[in-house]
Amino acid sequence: MSKIKMIATDIDGTLVDDAKNLSPKTIEVLKKARANGIYVVLCTGRPLSGVANLLTQLGLDNDDNFVITHNGAQAVNAKSGKAIFKHLLDFSDFKRLDAISKELKVNMQTITTDSQLFVTSPDINYYSVLDTFYTHMQLRYRPVTEVPKDIEIAKIMWADYPENIDNALPNLPKDLLDKFDCIRSEKWFFEFMKPLATKGNAAIELGKHLGIDASEILTAGDQNNDLSMIEKGGFSIAMGNAIDTIKEKADYVTDTNNNDGLAKAIEKFVFED
């Protein structure tokens, strides 16, 4: 068995297939890893509520396990939801981004640490509704005047038709790109987070909390928001369906998410002598 002590994996396009399901092989291999004392950490843009079913299927829904949520804004206990650490946006960030988003005519949504998703426009966008469907967050309209100044914000997103985001991006003030960690996680999502709030930073920080060195962390992903994990992990896996940037940076390219790519890579690099 290898020296790997933590497996930090993305979910969509990596852990699950295109139908958002876990394969029997993936469940078997990850349960074996956990039984051998290896932490299995789901690293996701979703809140904890959005991965509850996956944690149950993998046997990770207890106090001995952890989840990295909101693309690295938090690491939380898998059962209690108690934060191990958090890197959050504040009210002034929210006010600035809300004003810019309205000026650029792009839909903005705000996600809090307690899994609330709200918009400040009464015209609810299709992509905000879609996001709540997959993440099990509550969606509400909340005028700016009703947002408390002590609000804990995990991330702020543009959730809109791809062409609307395409049109807005060239006009986004450069200082905002410098101030936040910004990522196009999907064609219809553009995310704003604190610079420390990346999956890679979160995996390393959680590892330190658990007494695990970066060299002992295996990471796996497929999209832009996984790049920090791929670059910072001790050994990195790109899915066969990953974008080219991820494949170029990873230590190994495995099979696709529809063909047990993650499970195959773990068997090869964690369990084979």
pLDDT tens per residue across span 64-81: 999 999 999 999 999 999
Largest CA distance in the chain: 60
**Dist CA 24 CA 28 (whole Å):** 6
**Segments of 83-180 assigned E as strands:** 83-86, 108-112, 116-119, 138-141, 153-159
**Dist CA 261 CA 213 (whole Å):** 25
What percent of the chain has pLDDT above 70?
99
Q: For 9-48, what is each residue's pLDDT tens digit?
A: 999 999 999 999 999 999 999 999 999 999 999 999 889 9
136 conformational bin, left if phi > 0, alpha if psi -120 to 50, beta if neither: left
Q: For 177-192, what is each residue's pLDDT tens digit?
A: 999 999 898 899 999 9
Residue 1 has pLDDT above 60, yes or no: no
Residue 199, amino acid: K
**Taking a C-beta distance cutoff of 8 angstroms, is the pair 58, 40 a contact?**
yes
Residue with tokens 């962390």: 217
Q: What is the pLDDT of residue 31?
A: 98
Q: For 204-235, what is each residue's pLDDT tens digit?
A: 999 999 999 999 999 999 999 999 999 999 99
Which SS3 state, helix, strand or coil, does residue 181 take?
A: strand
DSSP lists the bridge partners of residue 236 as: 219
| CA nearest to 43, candidates 3, 79, 78 | 78
| CA nearest to 60, candidates 76, 72, 73 | 76
Residues labelled catalytic: 10
Residues of the chain with CATH 3.30.1240.10: 91-193
Residues of the chain with CATH 3.40.50.1000: 6-86+197-271
Q: What is the pLDDT of residue 144?
A: 95
The dotted CATH code for 6-86+197-271 is 3.40.50.1000
Q: For 93-110, what is each residue's pLDDT tens digit?
A: 999 999 999 999 999 999
Q: pLDDT class for 272, splitting at 50, 70, 90?
A: confident
**Dist CA 4 CA 49 (whole Å):** 28
Architecture per CATH, 91-193: 2-Layer Sandwich (3.30)
**Exposure string for 215-249, b = 16+ CB within 10 A, e = fewer:** ebbbbbbbbebbbbbbebbbbbbbbebbbeebbee
Residue 273 has pLDDT above 70, yes or no: no
pLDDT averaged over every residue in the chain = 95
Residue 155 has pLDDT above 60, yes or no: yes
| CA nearest to 10, candidates 160, 205, 224, 182 | 224
